[in-house]
């Protein structure tokens, strides 16, 4: 039996809106790495999605400041909204760097990392959709996010090692190293959000 405050469900709706928006951004990022013929269009779409994310985050914080009794800890509401906002910000940062650095072709590793970001946010979406309903389901999907982050960390390490082993141009190394690290950091923020969700379940079980 959960200890969530009954009645006010708007926070749950806002978090579902937030993660749904992030999933759209992650899907567009994955498509961008699969089809470099439409980079500018993808970057524009991701920027629009990021702006939508900012609006949702603002709505969460505004409601938090106006709500006396919240369904779970105020600190956790703020942490979760912040972690989710960081994810879409990093997705936007990756897409912007592709244009800024004039990347002509994606690498196998960048496609893998974009895929892992999408899988991570999809697991977060499943977790958040069960928030306040099924604690076991929330926890299960959080564990999967942690596993995906470990996988992304491994892909990133191998990708950077490959850069130094196989690429002679230092500028190319610098560009791709930053892109890889930004992609991997997005999965770190997914793990941060999962950790907050686990904390919420523990506090309200």
Interval 167-177: pLDDT, tens: 999 999 999 99
What token pair was written down for 121?
A: 């946010």
Tell me the CATH number of domain 10-203, given options 1.10.580.10, 3.30.360.10, 1.10.150.120, 1.20.58.220.
1.20.58.220
pLDDT by residue (tens digit) across 58-85?
999 999 998 888 888 899 999 999 999 9
Contact 53, 21 (CB under 8 A): yes
Average pLDDT of the chain, as a whole number: 92
pLDDT at 46 over 90: yes
Report, as an integer, the average pLDDT of 108-114: 97
Across residues 10-27, what is the average pLDDT?
96
Q: What is the pLDDT of residue 2?
A: 47
Q: How confident is the model at residue 135 (pLDDT cuts 50, 70, 90)?
A: low
Structure tokens at 85: 């906002």
- What pLDDT, on a 0 to 100 scale, did the predictor assign at position 108? 96
Question: Could you tell me if 51 and 175 are in contact, meaning their C-beta atoms sit under 8 angstroms apart?
Answer: no
Round to the nearest angstrom and report the end-to-end CA distance of the chain.
6
Domain ranges in the chain are 10-203
| Exposure letters 101-129 (e unless 16+ CB within 10 A, then b) | eebeebbebbebbbbbbbbbbbbbbbbbb
- Residue 1 binned pLDDT confidence (cut-offs 50, 70, 90): very low
d(CA 7, CA 170): 58
44, exposed or middle or buried, with CB in 10 Å at 0-12, 13-18, 19+? middle
């Amino acid at each position: 039996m959960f200890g969530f405050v009954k009645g006010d469900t708007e926070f749950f709706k806002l978090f579902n809106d937030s993660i749904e928006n992030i999933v759209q951004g992650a899907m567009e990022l994955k498509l961008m790495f699969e089809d470099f013929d439409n980079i500018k269009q993808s970057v524009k779409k991701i920027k629009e999605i990021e702006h939508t994310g900012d609006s949702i985050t603002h709505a969460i914080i505004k409601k938090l400041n106006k709500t006396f009794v919240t369904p779970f800890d105020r600190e956790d509401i703020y942490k979760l909204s912040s972690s989710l906002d960081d994810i879409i910000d990093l997705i936007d940062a990756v897409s912007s760097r592709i244009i800024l650095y004039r990347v002509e072709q994606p690498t196998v590793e960048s496609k893998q990392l974009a895929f892992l970001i999408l899988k991570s946010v999809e697991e977060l979406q499943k977790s958040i959709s069960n928030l306040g309903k099924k604690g076991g389901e929330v926890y299960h999907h959080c564990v999967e996010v942690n596993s995906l982050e470990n996988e992304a960390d491994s892909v990133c390490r191998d990708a950077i090692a490959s850069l130094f082993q196989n690429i002679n141009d230092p500028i190319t190394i610098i560009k791709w190293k930053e892109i890889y690290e930004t992609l991997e950091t997005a999965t770190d923020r997914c793990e941060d959000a999962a950790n907050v969700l686990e904390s919420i379940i523990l506090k309200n079980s």
